[in-house]
Amino acid sequence: MVVGKRVRECFVLGVTLVPLALGAAQQNGGTLSGSFSPIAAGSNVNLTVIGKLDWVQWGLYTDTSVNRKGSVSPAISGFTLLGDASCPTCSLAEYQYNDNWNGYTWYDGLPGGSVTNTTTGVWAYNYPSPSGSGFQFTAPADTSPKTLQVFVGAYAAQGQLRASLSDGSAPDFTSQPNSTVNNQGSGPGGVFTLNYSAGSPGQLLTVTWTVGSPKGSGANVTLQAAALTASGADNPPYVVITSPLNHATFLEPATIPIGISAQDFDGTVTNVALYAGTNKVGQSTAAPYSLTWPNVPRGRYTLKAAATDNAGVTSWSQPVEISVYGSGGSQSGVMGDSPGWVDLTTEGTADWAYWGLETETSFDTKDLVPRRISNFTVLGTNSVQRFDGATTAFSWSDGTPIASADSASSGVLITGITNGFQLTAPADTSPRQLNVYMGGYGVQGEFQAYLSDLSGRPYSDSSISNVYDSSSVLYTINYAAASAGQQLIVIYRSVDLFDLEYGNVSLQAATLQGGESGPLPVSILNPAKTGTDFVLSFATDINRTYVVQYASSLPASNWATLTTIAGNGGIVNATDYNVPSGQRFYRVQTQ
């Protein structure tokens, strides 16, 4: 919500003025040849069909957006940005654009599952010396022949494509300059087709696409997509669960209709199977692939469909999470804009928590009450970062380890797709309200809250979605479980990134109200010093424990425990014997 870079608007986009070249070479068992063809303006390239082994499209939302074939292991790498090696002081960057003269479509992508006719891409610019600026990426190479198509363009420049095998088993391919360059406006794109095989397994084909010769102000090259295939390669079938939708809920005992769509782009689908976790719950051999899953007991389930084609190749759908819930409890949720300022002490009558005050591990909570809101658990492998300057500020006067704060606007965030936070709050038959303050930048966020006994309908929301901007939201969950000793579990994570580098979900604070009645305020009575001893008294509740603590100065980061006393409903005494000279401060913590 507060970390990101804003893509600069650009005015020179998508002109394709690239070399035309043909060549073939073989030495030491490898082959490498290349050719160039223009792409007609308005045409639509189907990456799913032509990229049987893999495909990549760059720049769907921002300059860091990467979409690729989701039914295979990644083969084509991401790009590395190249600049003019003779200009160390030049400013090198890539930018996203969205007015390419042809479009790209896919049905089997990650993270964007299906996209139709996007005209986006990226362009590389090295200021003030554009010579040599551009992109580099790799594709796998071995002794079997493969074909890599690279979709590119240029503006006010002659672009040059080079390709080389890592084992040197064939001469490099270098495109030849063409004779015409359009220095005004934008124009159609083109595709380089590279046919190659290496002399040994485990090699790489390295491709560079750079400004070979600048022809005007703002010279640059563009990169849109790449597709990898081979003779005889089988395109995995495409399969998706169409119903139920992700995070659908059903009351037990549930009979759940399942809709599955599957197709094969170079053959036929012979079988579609549905799995709940690792358990196969049904299959179908003919379209429409509809199934019914009967008598589903209470629980949370992850559904995946597997489609097999006539070549025996199987691919899997993206997972769909569903919940079957029971009765006896209650749960409802709502999302709204986060206010500009929140007093945690006033709002969090049962408990509150604040993250990121000083460092990424800072965890400030309500003092003198039992801990109810947990610290977060990290979802994913990326590191948690602290941020500052959020649109919502928080204050408190009853905190620990920091006793008070005024208008703190920090928090924690985590980047990366599927990464996020999980936290819990107690649940029993008493009604409670949990407020959670969250946000995100360049991300599609997903919020979930459910009772551990699933005695109420789980809540989910995916309305945080911003390509360039940040969001600050408040989720409010009202809940009660059917029995004691339960938890409300909260999950917040990213499910899509629009900014691959900086996209993130963030967490600032949470407050809790309701539940079992809290302890009565403790007042220290009749404090007195007798000789070297100090005596104090206070009123107690039955079935509560009181911890008497002291410190030598305020504010105190660490309080020492003097004694622990069980409440009896009356007034009790505590004595600190042989108190050393100097000042000493006392407090009583109720548990």
pLDDT in the model for residue 182:
40
Q: Which residue has the higher pLDDT, 542 or 12?
A: 542
In a domain, 303, yes or no: yes
HSE of 535 in the Cβ direction (CA atoms, 13 Å)?
8
pLDDT at 11: 28
Q: Answer yes or no: is pLDDT of 12 > 70.
A: no
Q: Is the pLDDT of residue 165 over 60?
A: yes
Residue 520 belongs to a domain: no
**Structural domain that includes position 505:** 330-514
From CA 434, how far away is CA 490, in angstroms rounded? Answer: 10
Dump pLDDT digits (tens) for 438-492: 999 999 999 999 999 999 999 999 989 988 788 999 999 999 999 999 999 999 9
Angle at 386 between CA 382 and CA 391, to 5 degrees: 120
Q: For a pLDDT cut of 70, what percent of the chain falls above it?
A: 93
User: Does a structural domain hold residue 1?
Assistant: no
Same-domain pairing of 385 and 372 = yes
- pLDDT value at residue 217: 79
- The domain that holds 173 is classified in CATH as 2.60.120
Give residue 241's pLDDT: 95
What tokens appear for 265 in the block? 């782009």
Mean pLDDT, residues 573-590 taken together = 90
**Residue 401: left if φ>0, alpha if ψ -120 to 50, beta else—which one?**
alpha
State residue 300's pLDDT score. 97
Threshold 0.75, pTM exceeds: yes
Please, what sign has the CA dihedral across residues 172, 178, 184, 190? negative
Is there a single domain that holds both residue 271 and residue 338? Answer: no
User: Are both 130 and 167 inside the same structural domain?
Assistant: yes
Mean pLDDT of the chain: 89
For residue 160, give the nearest of 208, 222, 128, 120 by alpha carbon: 208
Q: Is residue 9 part of a domain?
A: no
CA-based Rg of the chain, rounded to a whole angstrom?
31
Tens digit of each residue's pLDDT (9 = 90 or more) over 503-514: 999 999 999 999
Mean pLDDT of 541-561: 87
Summarize pLDDT for 422-450 with one digit per residue, the tens: 999 999 999 999 999 999 999 999 999 99
Q: Which of 302, 325, 348 is the last residue of a domain?
A: 325
Chosen domain end from 325, 350, 377: 325
Q: pLDDT class for 208, splitting at 50, 70, 90?
A: very high
**One-letter-per-residue 3-state SS of 202-214:** CEEEEEEEEEEEE
pLDDT at 259: 95
Do 529 and 500 share a domain, yes or no?
Answer: no
User: Are residues 455 and 581 both part of a single domain?
Assistant: no
- Specify whether 320 is located in the same domain as 344: no
Residue 579's H or E segment, with its range, is none
Query: What confidence score (pLDDT) does residue 197 get?
Result: 97
**Model pLDDT, residue 128:** 85
Confidence check: pLDDT of 178 > 90: no
Q: Looking at residue 179, what is its pLDDT?
A: 34
| Average pLDDT estimate for 519-534 | 83
320 pLDDT more than 90: yes
Confidence of residue 520 (pLDDT cuts 50, 70, 90): low
| Residue 15 covered by a domain | no
The gap from C-alpha 19 to its chain's centroid, in whole angstroms, comes to: 39
Of the residues 269, 300, 325, the one at which a domain ends: 325
Q: Rounded CA gap, 380 and 493, in Å?
A: 9
